Chain A
Amino acid sequence: MNSKNRLVWVTWRAGLLACAWAAASLTAGAQAPAPAPAAAAPGATSAAAAPTATAATATAPAAATAEPPPPSVPAPAAEAPGTNGDVRSLDQEVQGAKKDVIDLNKDLFVLEEELLFPANTQVAVFVSMDVGTFFALDSITIKIDNKEVANYLYTAREADALLKGGVHRIYLGNQKVGKHELVAFFTGKGPAERDYRRGATLEFDKGVGAKYLELKITDKVPKHQPEFSVKDWE
């Protein structure tokens, strides 16, 4: 075989190979759409079976919608309960984590209070309100041994909460063992929308344990006036 014939032979074989490759790729392209949804569907179901994979659960419905499955593949509606179950379990896990955080925060708060305000020096003052027809609370100032220790402005919501039975801890601090004097000034609107400012005093003896005092605002119905008192919780 001379060189010219050899070149023709090689070119002809190369043409044949190219035709065969083109035919093979065409056949593969025609068959490709059929297995694709079948591959997507198991992926979706396996993702649905995974308990905590958020990305997988997010992609599973997307895959189902992007390439509609053939009639033989179960409809997405059939997979919905599994996905819902996943979401529910994930939600439960999130709720559990939230509860853990809240519990931890509570423990830290208690620990912090125990460290900052040890029981042998702790004095706490609470505010409560009963009825409140004759008094709209605006602010309370507390002085212990003639030193201002708390000054609190009440918003309408906070005053409402007190009227509904809420108790507000207005002061928490440390005081030495012995005798002390507490003076509380109540400011607000009295009967007939008049500005009202009243004081209440209590001499208390701080012992070795924690001391709890209560400032109580009540209505004095016979006199149509509010009444302010300071009570020692024994």
Chain B
Amino acid sequence: MALRYRSIFIGFGLALMAMCASTAAPAAVPSLLDKDAPDFVLKGLDGRNLRLSEFRGQVVLLNFWARWAGDSRKEMPALDRINTTYARAGLVVLGVSVDDDERRAGEFAGSMHLSYPILFDTDETVGRDYAVQKMPMTILVDRAGVVRYQNVGFKRGDEDAYLDKLRELLRE
């Protein structure tokens, strides 16, 4: 009888371990936190080319977005407000579109009347460097070019978290 209970207990333990392993595997997303932000140069909506490393000395908020992601549409007005408030304090907001269709992404961004530059990563090389897996993704890069904050997706209240962190970075 005791042997039976023991085998049931061991079986349950193994099943639990397997379940933990299967749930832990997808969570292992490579994080760029506290690492140098990969440099890139991309063409902007206004035709200018912008290079990330040229903003060294300023705090950069990088927002990867896509036209088809509903959360991106919700997040962009919030980022626009942040940009208008903190641009004078040394903040640079860069929106990076990962849409395949540059023309349609440009039209969409134009309709949003954003005050910050929109860049096009049509071949998704920059998205790969930053391990973008879900839209939108927001990254804060400090004055030394190091990634200090990363947020995937957007929900109500995330804007406040961005503000807290970027105020801290602007004070540094």
Contacts and interface: CB of A to CB of B under 8 A. Distances in A.
Contacts of A156: 48-49
Interface of B, helix, strand, loop or mixed by DSSP: strand
Interface of B: 41-43, 47-51, 54
A97 B2 CA distance: 70
A157 interface: yes
Contacts of B51: 155, 157-158
Interface of A: 138-139, 153-158
Nearest to B43: A153
A183 to B, nearest CB: 21
Contacts of B50: 155
Given A138-B49, A139-B49, A153 B54 contact: no
Contacts of B54: 155, 157
Among B41, B42, B49, B50, the one with the most A-chain Cβ atoms within 10 Å of its Cβ is: B49
A156 B54 CA distance: 10
- The 9 lowest CB-CB distance pairs between A and B, nearest first, are A153-B49, A153-B41, A155-B49, A155-B51, A157-B54, A155-B54, A154-B49, A155-B50, A155-B41
Contacts of A155: 41, 48-51, 54
A155 B119 CA distance: 13
A39 to B, nearest CB: 39
A158 B47 CA distance: 15
Contacts of A154: 49
Nearest to B50: A155
Contacts of A158: 51
Contacts of B42: 153
A158 B42 CA distance: 14
